[in-house]
Structure 1
Amino acid sequence: MTEVRVPTLGESVTEATVATWFKKPGDRVEADEMLCELETDKVTVEVPAPAAGTLSDIVAGEGETVGVDALLANIEEGGSGSGDAGSGGGTAKAEADSGETKEAPKEEVADAGGDQGDATGEKVDVMVPTLGESVSEATVSTWFKKVGDEVAADETLCELETDKVSVEVPAPSAGTLAEIVAEEGTTVEADAKIAVIAKSAAGKAGSGEAASKPKDGGDAPATPQGETQYSMPPAGNGGPGRSDVEDAPSAKKAMAEKGVSRDQVQGSGRDGRAMKEDVDRAVAAAKSQPQSDAQPKQAPRAPVAAEDESREERVKMTRLRQTIARRLKDAQNTAAMLTTYNEVDMTETMALRKEYKDLFEKKHGVRLGFMSFFTKACCHALKEVPEVNAEIDGTDIVYKKFVHMGIATGTPTGLVVPVIRDADSMSFAEIEKAIGEKGKRARDGKLSMAEMQGGTFTISNGGVYGSLMSSPILNPPQSGILGMHKIQERPMVVGGEIKIRPMMYLALSYDHRIVDGKGAVTFLVRVKEALEDPRRLLMDL
């Protein structure tokens, strides 16, 4: 008998709640197979089986609170089906009678296939790649191959979509796509299996047809020989509309205590299960957006009349768009955001660029644009006004002694902000090369999570789309963002005379909690001075 105990839960965490059991007494379990899920105040912990065998009893049921190293269940080792034919047949019959599909040991499946027993060694699992720090799941957005297609090693099989980036999944080996485990729209966790590749024709199901049938005798899609049939739940099945998905016990308790209804909570757990942190977010959102009786909470709009349906199209928001919407609204709800404006005469910067752009491109192999001038001007101003390059952490202000410049970039799927690290120590050519490379990767959907994290200040150029004036929204936890706009010729008074000048409006949105009006105006004036006389950047004035 092997005991299943609560694992170490992390520093300062002494207890957890049993959220979900994935097995019940009498079920066959394999070593390292997930038995249950525990929920602490901070994280969700999966408990694997310490040994193969049969789950004999469950000591701590769902909803119970357990301490570290507490007994959860017991596993009776043995009964793996590797004994004589008689006992193996009895086990198979018992499983068939129960109507459940159990994973059979590979030796048994190989025997069922007769002369194809060695085909099990020709299967290669396609797994979800590493998604980045703090990203635990993704949605399968597009499959570029279908079952039966030949694939080459490293050929792109499908594309996954996370909250921030799209991730291409390459084929780990050449062969035939034998099975797609996670269809389009399925939400998958990191390191989950999404497909199977047969490295040769011997990997396909042959005479062992029984292996591809469910044990209740019904028809089902064929499962490749040597593999266990398995399918992921479709994305979006969880939530208020689904009754077979149990919310976490701590979430239920929190909803009851705080008076939050289930339809106000957007579940982020497996299959849409509501977690405690989801309830906390719903409560925070409700507090930040109080609604009077005269203005009740907005409900989903009723469907339009049948004759008008052809005039509308309803499309589910992508995970990236949902994240953009949430982060922008969080920024407005959290920061004391204020915007100050100024205008800059671009005459001298444009003249300098025109004079040296050909020589610059010939020497450095990259075009000289305006973004390098603005990046340099902002780095220069941030040295004088360091609070704009700072962030709030609790009751502390963290001043950054470096500049990781975020460059807001529009892509077909939404706005992303790649980060140019240590921009304050880079030359004009290095900045232009970095901006060009990051921008291309952003538009192609190739940016990694690491390339969009750690920014200390952001520049957003709405002028490329023709914007004349706007108020940019902060990119948390940053305290400042500069908005560039369209260059437009306007009559200006210069030396007592009216002259036509190429002018641009600048907007600095800042967090008034740590940046005072004086600092914000000073920052914008220093940027203006540097662009109207670019020689100041060379002299560090």
Structure 2
Amino acid sequence: MRIEIKAPEVGESINEVTIGKWLKKDGDFVEQDEIICEVESEKATLEVVSENSGQIKILVKEGETVPIGTPIATIETDAARPQKDSKVSDESVVEKTVDIATKTAEEHKLKITPVARKIIQEKKIDEKLLARFSADERITKARLEELLKDQQNDALAAQAAEFKEDEERTKSAQPSGIGRKERRERMSTLRQTIARHLVQAKQSTAMLTTFNEVDMSEIIKLRQEYKEEFLQKKGVKLGFMSFFIKATAQALQEFPVVNARIDGEDIVYHEYVDIGVAVSTDRGLVVPVIRDVQNLSLAEIEREVARLAAAARDKKLSIEELKGGTFSITNGGVFGSLLSTPIINIPQTAILGMHNIQERPVAIEGQVVIRPMMYLALSYDHRVIDGKESVQFLVRVKELIERPIRLLLDV
């Protein structure tokens, strides 16, 4: 029986994926639940597993982009399972190593202690190294470790000599004077998809950005006073992000149009708050989603943020964790950004940008004082959200952050 493996769904509004890497070759026998390839979208890199055992036939090459649901491979479930005697098992490798060590020891009449023999087995020490010992020398753990250290130093010295030789060769090949070099590097498939998605967002929305600033004094004071007790009782650190997510969720319920989306000629209002939080990884930006934020406490939000961020960096986010989202938050402040205009994550209609906290002089009750201030930016789709609503929404977030007791009292 022939089973099709199709390009998986990777999130709302994502219509295509790119085959990043095949982990199996055409014609290989794969086991059920075995990872066969990686697919990439602008949100994440995901692993595709085989739901059946059988022989694989690859239909789409690495680097090709295909629509969601396109067959990328087939599994012939009636194919015969290959015999395992064609490959050498780990156990046989270990046995072979032990045999070599024993044979070498016998040929040179070496004496090996039991502990040293175990090291030979675990580290698979080459027989040529054992031959360095004299016939009347006892091979102990200390002598083996000394030998291995000498071998490592020899390898490093050889590597350094090779590097120096390459460096001299490069210098001699360069013309004198200041060089004017260029380096061309092909964009990764993930970066290409991100680029297409961002351009689409700019071209398909009437995007504007409104700004405000927030005094972080009260939140900083609250964190300093209760961070140890919070960690001890809740088992998670109290950060700034949970306050902003909680404040945003409350403001979205008061201004539901900011939590809506366009579907054709309709505006779809969500009676729940699912907030996507942008996470930077070594492969690009991903936006996992925290569900039903309106029902979560600060501690529950902190746990979910930490869990999703770790999963994103370890490439373990599931498709469900990337789907949907009614609003997004991005924090450029962790990289030192003072002010920016974030791009809407379509089909959402707005995104909140957090920035770096800086001490600045501000006027309070006729006095100039120094306060820790943060600029906030709300990018929004003007087709749905009017300027009045966008400003009022951002002012409400500012009020909740500057007086965090409101978040706890829901006032």
TM-score tier, shorter chain, comes to 0.5 to 0.7
Of 496, 507, 510, the match for 2:380: 510
Aligned residues: 315
Gaps of 5+ in 2: 87-174
More helix, by proportion: 2
Counterparts of 1:194 and 1:152 in 2: how far apart (Å)? 10
Q: Does 1:490 align with 2:372?
A: no
The 1:358/1:496 distance shift into structure 2, 3 A limit, reads same
Q: Answer whether contact 1:136 1:190 (CA < 8 A) is retained.
A: no
Q: Answer whether contact 1:126 1:195 (CA < 8 A) is retained.
A: no
Q: Which residue of 1 aligns with 2:321?
A: 451
Counterparts of 1:417 and 1:310 in 2: how far apart (Å)? 36
Q: Which residue of 2 aligns with 1:167?
A: 46
SS at match of 2:362: strand
Of 351, 361, 383, the match for 2:253: 383
1:311 counterpart letter in structure 2? E
2:213 counterpart letter in structure 1? E
Of 339, 344, 350, the match for 2:209: 339
Counterparts of 1:466 and 1:477 in 2: how far apart (Å)? 28
User: How do 1:391-540 and structure 2 match up within 5 A?
Assistant: 391-540=261-410
Counterparts of 2:396 and 2:16 in 1: how far apart (Å)? 44
Q: Answer whether contact 1:487 1:504 (CA < 8 A) is retained.
A: yes
Q: Does 1:313 align with 2:184?
A: yes
Q: CA deviation at 1:432?
A: 1.0
Counterparts of 2:260 and 2:16 in 1: how far apart (Å)? 31
SS at match of 1:527: helix
Counterparts of 1:396 and 1:151 in 2: how far apart (Å)? 46
Counterparts of 1:163 and 1:417 in 2: how far apart (Å)? 10
TM-score normalised over the length of structure 1: 0.51
SS at match of 2:280: strand
Counterparts of 1:157 and 1:481 in 2: how far apart (Å)? 36
Q: Does 1:185 align with 2:63?
A: yes
Q: CA deviation at 1:445?
A: 2.4
Gaps of 5+ in 1: 1-30, 33-124, 205-306
Q: Answer whether contact 1:458 1:475 (CA < 8 A) is retained.
A: yes
Structure 1 vs Structure 2: percent identity of aligned residues?
Answer: 52
Q: Deviations over 1:372-425 (max 9, x none)?
A: 100111112122222211222333322222111111222222222111111011
Q: CA deviation at 1:145?
A: 6.2
Counterparts of 1:136 and 1:391 in 2: how far apart (Å)? 18
User: How do 1:297-312 and structure 2 match up within 5 A?
Assistant: 311-312=182-183
The 1:187/1:363 distance shift into structure 2, 3 A limit, reads same
SS at match of 1:311: coil
Counterparts of 2:213 and 2:221 in 1: how far apart (Å)? 18
Q: CA deviation at 1:153?
A: 7.2
Q: CA deviation at 1:458?
A: 1.0
SS at match of 1:509: strand
Counterparts of 2:216 and 2:52 in 1: how far apart (Å)? 55
TM-score normalised over the length of structure 2: 0.66
Counterparts of 2:263 and 2:30 in 1: how far apart (Å)? 49
Q: CA RMSD in A?
A: 3.6
Q: Answer whether contact 1:182 1:194 (CA < 8 A) is retained.
A: no
Of 323, 345, 348, the match for 2:218: 348
1:333 counterpart letter in structure 2? Q
Q: Which residue of 2 aligns with 1:325?
A: 195
SS at match of 1:410: strand
Q: CA deviation at 1:159?
A: 2.4
Task: Determine which structure has greater relative contact order: mean sequence separation of CA pairs < 8 Å that are 6+ residues apart, divided by chain length.
Answer: 2
